[in-house]
Structure 1
Amino acid sequence: MRILFWLIALFGLAVGLAMFARLNTGYALLFFPPWRMELSLNAFVLLFALLVLGGYGLVKLVDWLLAMPRNVRRYKAAKRVNDARRYRREAITALIEGRYHKSVRAIKVARDAEDEREMQLIDTLIAARAAHFGRDFDARDQYIEQARVACGGRSLALDMLEAEMMYEQYRNREALVALQRVYAQSPKLTAALKLELKIRQQDNHPARVIELTDMLEKSDALDPSHAARIRNQARLNQLKLDPMDASELERWWHGLRKDEKLLPKLAAAAARQFIRAGVGERAESILVDALEANWDVAPLETYGELGRLGVKGDAVKRLARAEDWLRHHPNDHQLLLALGRMCRDAALWGKARNYLEASVAVAATPVAHAELGQLLEQLDERETAEEHYRASLGLALDLLEKRT
């Protein structure tokens, strides 16, 4: 529609000019002493138009010639920018594809073609990452130094990248140094906290692991269930790494959250530490609370060994509590095994035998067969005891083969 409008306008203008030229009878007199020139008005208008257009063209030509050096510089700069973008795109694509050496070559060309300092720094960081993935660690270190010089020694991106690469190379101490520089610029950077959490887990620093886990969970950077698993393992490591006396252990236990105290493995490990510290009654209450909240084999096994571990207390009440649990868990072979151990420790040979045989009947395990064999050996039934010993050994070997 627009083209049709312009065509109509042009045709109208042409018709108007033709009519003007045909009907116009005027003339123009040009006087340049001592010369006089008389022209028709049509010729004068045409000549004037040609002079104006020629002058405009001459001015544009001069302007173009004067601007040529500037335009050449601008063209070269635009070409360098386009080249830098193209090679940077190739480098990033090659990095994602896993073609690390090609990525390094492409990003070097992009960096050389780039004029902007910030983009040169980014190109250097990409080159360092690609060289690291390509296991060219000397080149990577050179790029890191070049980037440090380019940014004046202060760059969050550089420090975070260096920390990640040092961690991936199992140089945890240097990674932690880089993370300290990151924290100086961004104290609560989630990526840095997660990276330090991995390092602290590897280096087995449970106190710091718990602190980092709490921080990440509060910021919704860790799923609560995942955070609970990490925290539970850290608590277990605390018990293994830091032997505590009774008072220290009590303070540590009171510092746990309510839900942590009911975790089966943690409760069993804490109970054993309380037993070691000579506070067997505390250990028993911990196990009972954990079992009544979350039925699990770890506290149940420790509960069944309280007598063997030298925990004083009412053994009859302890046995009665376990037999009450049996009403709710009648086919739990681990509970039957625990009851068999407790009866054997209390010299209730008949009940011990019944419980151990029931445990083997529900689920034959190497431990149950071995316990039953030891009991039968005490009762001078050596042949039957040897059968259970052989069964225990066979099951143990089968389990070992499956694991290997």
Structure 2
Amino acid sequence: MKFVLWIVGLFALAVLLGLAATVNNGYAILFFPPYRLEVSFNLMIISVFVLIAVAHALLRLLSLAVRLPEEVRQFQRQKKLKASRHALREAALSFFEGRYQKAEREAARAMEDEFAVENRALALLISARSAAQTQDKARRDACLERLGELPERLQLARHMLEAELRYEDRDTLAALSAVERARALSPNLTSALRLELKIRLQLGQPEAVLQLTEKLLKADALDASQARRYRVAAYRQQLAALVDGESLLRWWGKVPQVERGNDELLLEVAERLSALGEADRAASLLAERIPDSEDTALVQALARFAPALSDERRKGLLRDAEAWLRDRPRDAALLFALGSLAQTQQLWGKAQSYYEASLSVAPSLQATAALAALLESLDKPEAAERYRQQALQMALAAES
């Protein structure tokens, strides 16, 4: 339809021009001494338009001729840039495919003719990470140095990559330094906080671990179970640094109630207290938790602490444990603990009964060996030998 309209328009214009030419009967005189030329005014108008068109065409040709070298350079540059960005895409794909050597080669090609600093930074990041995967540390460090020459706005990615690479290299101090530089640029970057949390834990800085855990928990960057694991790990580090029972108990009182309910942590606290000569207090901590816990390790620890307890504390624990037994009559670990407490208290008959009851519920090497030793001390060599043989068979079966 447009084509038809153009044709009709052109014919209409031609008709109008023809009519105008018949109406205009004037002429123009061109005087070039000693010559004088008379021409139709219509021809004069057409000649002027033709002259303008020819002049314009000549000027365009001249402009194109002058600009031709630059056009060629631009074309070549665009061709190289297209190849460079294709190489960058190939490098990214190869990296995620796990073809790290190819990724490194393509990233190097991408940097040859690339002028956009963002793309150069991306190519260097891919190259550094690929070099790290192929254990080419010299190449990796060279890429990191080149990244450092780029504008400040691109340094966050460089610091985060360096932190991850140093952490993987087990160079925790260098990794921490890189993380701190990243956090200086973006203080609340959760990926930096998570990495710093791992580093601080490795460096044995429990106070910083607890602070970072709370910060990440508030930012929803850690779930409750992860946060609890980090807290427990931090408390274990703090526990290892305590050197006397009083300071340990003061510290334990400051630990949040939810963490004090962690049986593994409580057991470590009790073991530490016992090692510091506070077996009675360690047993008291265990006795507070055992009625509400199903963890047999707590009861087994109580049995181990029995020889180090005072007579008064041992008697109290015997009463408590017998009360627990009413609710848990078939708890083999509790029966064994009662046997250990009774034996240490020189209640030989009770000890033998509890050991035998423990074995009747769940035979164990520990209870069998303890009963054999007790019977030996009671001058019952035949029974003691029978249980010794049973203990030996259990030990051999456990090793095979």
Give the shorter-chain TM-score range: 0.7 to 0.9
In 2, Cα distance between equivalents of 1:63 and 1:7: 32
Match in the other structure for 2:350? 351
Alignment deviations for residues 341-376 of structure 1 (CA, whole Å, 9 cap, x no partner): 222223333333333223223322222222222223
1:136 offset after TM fit, Å?
0.9
Q: Percent identity?
A: 33
CA contact (8 A) 1:370 1:388 kept: yes
Q: Which runs of 5+ in 1 are unaligned?
A: none
In 2, Cα distance between equivalents of 1:356 and 1:90: 71
Alignment of 1:323-342 (within 5 A): 323-342=322-341
Match in the other structure for 1:220? 220
The SS at the match of 2:243 is coil
Match in the other structure for 2:12? 16
Report which stretch shifted further, 94-103 or 380-389: 380-389
1:174 offset after TM fit, Å?
2.6
Match in the other structure for 2:61? 61
Alignment of 1:1-400 (within 5 A): 4=1, 6-14=2-10, 16-17=12-13, 20=16, 25-26=22-23, 29-33=27-31, 34-38=36-40, 53-151=53-151, 155-239=155-239, 241-400=240-399
CA contact (8 A) 1:275 1:311 kept: no
**Number of residue pairs matched?**
394
The SS at the match of 1:155 is helix
CA contact (8 A) 1:263 1:290 kept: no
In 2, Cα distance between equivalents of 1:362 and 1:339: 14
Report which stretch shifted further, 97-106 or 386-395: 386-395
The SS at the match of 2:360 is helix
Alignment deviations for residues 138-194 of structure 1 (CA, whole Å, 9 cap, x no partner): 222222223334458993322222221122122223323333433443444332332
Residues 293/216 of structure 1: CA separation in 2 closer, same or farther (3 Å cut): farther
Alignment deviations for residues 229-269 of structure 1 (CA, whole Å, 9 cap, x no partner): 23223323433x32421321122112211112221122222
In 1, Cα distance between equivalents of 2:313 and 2:146: 73
In 1, Cα distance between equivalents of 2:149 and 2:3: 64
Q: Which runs of 5+ in 2 are unaligned?
A: none
The SS at the match of 2:38 is strand
In 1, Cα distance between equivalents of 2:48 and 2:395: 113
CA contact (8 A) 2:28 2:38 kept: yes
Residues 207/53 of structure 1: CA separation in 2 closer, same or farther (3 Å cut): same
The SS at the match of 1:364 is coil
In 1, Cα distance between equivalents of 2:174 and 2:126: 20
The SS at the match of 2:115 is coil
Root-mean-square deviation over aligned CA pairs: 3.2
CA contact (8 A) 1:262 1:294 kept: no
CA contact (8 A) 1:261 1:290 kept: no
In 1, Cα distance between equivalents of 2:380 and 2:47: 136
CA contact (8 A) 2:118 2:154 kept: no
